[in-house]
């Protein structure tokens, strides 16, 4: 079984902007029940189907599969809940870790989150100065919940 272990943070300031190149993500949720999700995503010319289990602490089961981009786009348009999640993701390499900074658009305009995937729940990390409050355990910042309750400034 594939396991995702990640920490999530709010981002402060613009110190991160020059550290990575952004890529457009569009994603939606076909199923979103009891913390379990089935997500469709388009990144560039690639589609993905991802199934995730409920989060326990920082961990959850995750299974991700490449699918044809045309299939992913059709799923986004016909089967996914609204609004779709639209964001630009910046991947920033710092030491041995890759920070993913998501700048949201559309219904979640103004929200900027950073997440970092870890090898273990107890892994020590250096927190960059542009990282703000940790929101790992706050369900308001789960992408699947931003569909139901979009972020408001």
Distance CA(80)–CA(91), nearest Å, equals 26
The answer to whether 29 is a known catalytic residue is yes
Tokens 């103004």 found at = 110
User: How many CB atoms are closer than 10 A to CB 123?
Assistant: 14
Distance CA(94)–CA(99), nearest Å, equals 7
The residue annotated as part of the active site, out of 25, 29, 48, 142, is 29
Tokens 């009891």 found at = 34
Q: Which residues are catalytic?
A: 29
């Amino acid at each position: 079984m594939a396991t995702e272990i990640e920490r999530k943070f709010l981002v402060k300031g613009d110190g991160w902007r020059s550290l990575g190149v952004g890529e457009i993500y569009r994603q939606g949720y076909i199923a979103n029940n009891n913390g379990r999700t089935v997500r469709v995503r388009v990144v560039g010319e690639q589609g993905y189907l991802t199934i995730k289990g409920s989060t326990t602490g920082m961990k959850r089961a995750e299974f991700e599969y490449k699918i044809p981009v045309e299939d992913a786009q059709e799923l986004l348009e016909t089967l996914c809940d609204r609004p779709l999640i639209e964001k630009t993701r910046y991947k920033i390499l710092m030491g041995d870790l890759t920070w993913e900074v998501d700048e949201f658009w559309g219904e979640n305009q103004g929200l900027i989150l950073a997440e970092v995937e870890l090898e273990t729940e107890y892994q020590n990390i250096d927190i960059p100065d542009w990282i703000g409050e940790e929101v790992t355990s706050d369900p308001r910042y789960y992408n699947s919940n931003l569909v139901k309750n979009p972020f408001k400034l």
